[in-house]
């Protein structure tokens, strides 16, 4: 989706992963990931989980790294749930400018939610839905690609796991 940052472009999240940015509040970490509060949290407890290695977005991540990040999300999400008891929780990741990604280093937002937290809607407003006719062939196209990819290998990076 999004190419990795060029060598000349510094990646703020890589600096955090290396422990070079002392301004962030690290709340949890593991060998392959770091969890910290964003500078402008959406709600109390809003936490970002990033891989220690630079990967542009979830769709570019090798399967093993995605699994490690998922384990981190569960660990952090359960800690948030126990610590501050939110009414709900969102897990959000974006890939590409159209999806509102602004930092092109994979990051997963764990966002604790309360009924009147001011976060706003994450789904389209009423009246902007696609009709079934608009999506007529999409399910078949996706089924065909799932069959082609088989076993969850990353289509854009088929040997990404082999390089780990």
Structure confidence by residue, pLDDT tens digits, 3-21:
444 445 789 999 999 999 8
User: How many Å apart are CA 33 and CA 108, to the nearest integer?
Assistant: 11
In a domain, 144, yes or no: no
Q: With 60 as the cut, is the pLDDT of residue 82 above it?
A: yes
In a domain, 135, yes or no: no
**What is the CATH number for 16?**
3.30.428.10
What per-residue confidence (pLDDT) applies to 63? Answer: 95
Give the other-Cβ count within 10 Å of 94's Cβ: 20
Range with top average pLDDT, 19-33, 62-76, 125-139: 62-76
Q: Is beta strand 108-113 parallel, antiparallel or unpaired with respect to 88-92?
A: antiparallel
Domain count, the chain: 1
Where helices occur in 85-135 by DSSP H, the ranges are none
Helix (H, G, I), strand (E, B) or coil at 41: coil
Record the tokens describing residue 37, joined without a space.
């509060």
Q: How confident is the model at residue 131 (pLDDT cuts 50, 70, 90)?
A: low
Q: With 60 as the cut, is the pLDDT of residue 163 above it?
A: no
In a domain, 65, yes or no: yes
In a domain, 2, yes or no: no
In a domain, 143, yes or no: no
In a domain, 130, yes or no: no
Helix (H, G, I), strand (E, B) or coil at 90: strand
In a domain, 141, yes or no: no
pLDDT, average across residues 45-73? 97
Task: Give the residue numbers spanning the domain of 53.
Answer: 12-124
pTM over 0.85: no
Q: How confident is the model at residue 146 (pLDDT cuts 50, 70, 90)?
A: confident
In a domain, 142, yes or no: no
Higher pLDDT, 21 or 64: 64
pLDDT, average across residues 94-105? 92
């Amino acid at each position: 989706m999004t190419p990795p940052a060029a060598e000349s472009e510094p990646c703020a999240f890589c600096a955090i992963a290396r422990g070079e940015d002392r301004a962030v509040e690290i709340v949890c970490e593991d060998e392959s990931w770091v969890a910290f509060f964003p500078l402008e949290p959406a709600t109390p407890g809003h936490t970002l989980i990033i891989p220690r290695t630079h990967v542009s977005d979830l769709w570019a991540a090798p399967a093993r790294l995605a699994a490690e990040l998922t384990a981190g999300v569960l660990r952090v999400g359960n800690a948030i749930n126990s610590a501050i008891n939110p009414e709900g929780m969102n897990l959000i990741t974006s890939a590409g400018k159209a999806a509102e990604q602004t930092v092109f280093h994979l990051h997963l937002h764990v966002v604790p939610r309360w009924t009147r937290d001011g976060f706003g809607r994450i789904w389209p407003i009423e009246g902007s839905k696609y009709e079934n006719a608009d999506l007529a062939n999409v399910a078949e196209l996706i089924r065909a690609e799932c069959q082609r990819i088989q076993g969850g290998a990353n289509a854009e990076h088929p040997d990404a796991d082999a390089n780990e």
